[in-house]
Structure 1
Amino acid sequence: MRHVLFILLVNLLTIGASHAQVKSLFDVEARRAALAQPAMTTVRAACLAIPRDPAWTGLRPVDQLKVSESTGADGAVADFTWAVMVLTGRALAGDTASEASLRDLLLAWARAKALERTEAGSDAEHALKRALLPTVAAYSVLHRGLDEAQRQSLAGWINSLVRRIDRGAETIGDGSSHGHMAASILMAWGAATGDDALYAKGYERYRSILAQARSDGSLAPDVRRGARALWFTRQTLASLTVMAEVAATRGADLYGIREGEANFDRVLSYLLNAIAEPSVVMAYASEGDILGGELDFRRQELGFLSKRGNGRHLMAWAEPVLARDRPGLATRRLKSLHARSLRLDRPLIDEAVGGNATCFWGR
């Protein structure tokens, strides 16, 4: 009898609120309604800016992501992730053909138990994380149109991958950016399924990141990365932003909390200071344990300020931050950067924020 009750409990956690609205990275129904308003015509156009490729529905499920001998994540899942990000934005904006394509693609991968045999290793597991957050966002957008069997199939598959991330996630205190991304995924899925234990892991990770910040807003695990010091700081801010946005769907303001002298704005200000004047980071970057492509800590890699050739923009997390129109100098400076540079690259799409950030949060 106890075994039966345990199975029922697991199923409830896996399926989550199967008949209720799912809130994860953002309030899906509120955003859907907002995008239908005339004042949001430009943003809705950003949701639809990239055309649907009919071939995406036929993308063959990837059995596993493999550890590669070179740096960088396994690229075998990149096409799937891009398709999911584009289709989710289009579905949110009301494109029924894209919604059907997204549903069919995800259900096919769920039935095939795709990615479940991913090898243990940092690059393969990082590629899995990059695929997962967009998949969680897609589930939230699709949820209302799925029947019960489809919900169970899709939620069960995502849950198995999230649990793998949970088992392999770096500890709260290690400070790695890969660990931050893992925590953002756990928090997002916890919010989507009502799993408070998973949600709490993200919440605690957020506070631990702030607790590690120096008085100037720098994060030691990031800024010691040589030529990629600012690259990793930006990556941490992306995960902080996702966790803050997930918390906002539950009425919590993580942007406003403080650990010692540090808060979100302090870390953001450090990044913006160092972008404007790279000498700010030089002393820390000279300790570099990962030098980056330039192999010279004095030449910071700032490629994240421009859209990449694969369509991604690593500053996509600026969209939700600016959508909140928070007071303070850090927000005003980010808004200035957005107006003179980032806005020209819209839509801003990136796995680290779950997809088309302009569509999900942009104003």
Structure 2
Amino acid sequence: MNSGALLVNAAIPLVVLAVAWLTPSLTSPTLPFGVRIPAARADAPVIAEQRKRYRWLVGMAGGALVALNVGLSATTHLVRPGVVPVLILAVFLAAFSRTRVAIAAAKRDEDWYRGLSQGVVTDTSLRTDPEPFPWLWSIPALLIVAGTVMTALVLYPSVPDRLAVHFNASGIPDHFATKSVGSVFFPVFVQAGVTATILVLAWFSFRARPELDPARPADSARRHRRFSVRAVISLLVLAACVDLSMLAGAWPIWHAGQKLSPVLVMLPILVGLALVVGVALRTGQGGSRLPAADGGVPEENTGVVRRDDDRYWRGAGSLYVNRADPALLVQKRSGFGWTFNFGNPRALLLLALIVGLPLALPLIVR
């Protein structure tokens, strides 16, 4: 296997491992491993102990998988691309679920919410005077798609009658198709689909219901505004990076005999993912890592804690199911960004449309 393919085989599992290891740092202190707790319990010894065990397990098991993947990729072709990242995800889910169960058990056994006043709060100004959607940040992705369209139009007459549409890990063509509008413009269709999907998700996420802290509602509303803008901008930049990768992958398709460079294809995506992770670490889920009052005096604590709503989160605390909630998307309880309300039929329809688009794209080249 050449050095470019080896680099890609190592980079993707490392990114997955880094995100898994950093996940506990992204969420609010009152949501350790997706378990809702009172702020007064954020420093409970069981949480620190379980976080340490989680990171040790993910780091050791994930690191061993990455090392094994690099070693086998350098000497054999036994490991197929994508297998090791999936195995790392499996380790992450198992470790996360185990840690979540342990913290939830401590919360239940010690009755952490006993005697506390629970509540929810809203800020109508987030609806009447919302932050403007950062449309300007979508321009780079749209320009790249437009540039790819123009390039495909110019090169179409010179594209060979039989063109490569798939490459192996070393960049060698291994699947071909007859020249047609569908096969030549397939990268453009993928770009347009990815860009449209991210734009739609970004817009719905930007308008998603905020998760405000009833203890300091005004401070958390300010955090939510900055979080939403930064998170959506990072998504729009990621869309441009994905489009650049698609353009790099399209070039050898349009030029017969050229090898695909795995490094050139993966580098923009890796840069985009690094930006998203950087924004997540600096901002925190829901703005939890941002200063509350922009350097001013923090809001006085009302004494009310967030409602214990663990019953609406299923699986490993990653699936939100609440039929009484009209929200399409809500903030994740682990990681960074938003997730669907699987109890809302409209949200399920939106998810079906998003999932169905990439599944339908391969039919274009047939």
- Normalising by the smaller structure, the TM-score range is under 0.3
TM-score, with structure 1 as normaliser: 0.26
TM-score, with structure 2 as normaliser: 0.26
The structure with the larger Rg is: 2
Higher relative contact order (CA 8 A, sep 6+): 2
